[in-house]
Amino acid sequence: MLANYRRLLEAQLQRQEIRQAIEKIRNSHGVFRRYPTVEDLANLCQTGAQNYEDKDAVLAILLSKIKRETTLFPLLHLILWESWARLFNSKRKSVPASDRDELFSRLQVDFFHTAVEYPLDRRPRKIDVNLILDTRKKISRWQREEAVRSERDERFDEIETPESKRTWALAELLVSTVFPEEKEEYLLDRIYRGVINKLEYGLIVETQVYKRMNLKEWARINGVPHATARSWLYRAKLALRRYEEANRVGDRRP
């Protein structure tokens, strides 16, 4: 996983626009000329490297550029690769193997947002350390939120209330007693009526109507946690149930 992603970043640096952007920085900033290759820049930020002034200067220049145009983000990522990969390896121990792809994707997103939002004016020193620590905080907060959401959904699964049982049973009935094409038409009508949104429509159509994928596959493809997708599905079915109850179940022309 790490090796493949690093190769992807290295390949991105060969793109013409990125090479031109790096060359422009090198021509404009003397500190970059002291580190002519990506490997030299990465060594500057390796554990134990002590040229703190150059390190902060290089990172400050890159971050100021990335705030305006994200072209140089792959270069920043490779410069901090060692610390970023160490963070992933430490976090992966705390999640099941089945969730590591999701963790990996989330870590990429959180690192990107940390770089774009970094407050250079307030924290101009120890930038490499701050970027990784801020990313760690983001990913830790996400993990806590996911744990709470998962626990809530597990409680729902384990202690099905009469209300939740009725919601699932009636909603299943509403989308299972007609042919798939009619189910889809029925759900489209509920979009127009504001009962569900387009995302919920796609979720139900793919996982419940045509059953082209299960809920976990849908969540992965759409870049959301499995527990979140389940919550969305439950809320959509609850909305359908309440709408049908308010407009007489079985009447397709309310």
pLDDT in tens, 128-154: 999 999 999 999 888 887 766 665 554
* Distance from C-alpha of 117 to C-alpha of 22, rounded to nearest angstrom: 21
Residue 105 predicted with pLDDT over 50: yes
- Ordered DSSP codes for 88-100: HHHHHTTS-GGGH
**Whole-number pLDDT of residue 94:** 80
Tokens of 244: 């049908």
What per-residue confidence (pLDDT) applies to 247? Answer: 76
CA distances from 127 to 123, 222, 230 (A): 7, 33, 39
State yes or no: pLDDT of 166 exceeds 70. no
Q: Which residue has the higher pLDDT, 206 or 64?
A: 64
Alpha helices for 69-126 (secondary structure H): 73-79, 81-92, 100-117
Comparing CA positions, the residue from 59, 172, 191, 186 lying closest to residue 126 is 59
Query: Please, what is the Cα angle at 208 between 179 and 106, to 5 degrees?
Result: 150
Portion of the chain with pLDDT greater than 70, in percent: 83
The predicted pLDDT at position 176 comes to 47
CB atoms under 10 Å from CB of 83, counted, come to: 18
- Interacting residues of 218 by C-beta distance below 8 A, sequence separation 6+: 203, 206, 207, 229
The model's confidence at residue 180, banded by pLDDT at 50, 70 and 90, is: low
Query: For position 254, what pLDDT does the model report?
Result: 43
Phi, psi of 45 (to 5 degrees): -105, 10
Structure tokens at 117: 């939002």
**What pLDDT was estimated at residue 161?**
59
Q: How far is it, in rounded angstroms, from Cα 177 to Cα 195?
A: 19
pTM flag (> 0.75): no
For 6, the token pair is 């690093």
Tokens coding 147: 């744990």
pLDDT band (50, 70, 90) for residue 223: confident
Q: What percent of the chain has pLDDT over 90?
A: 35
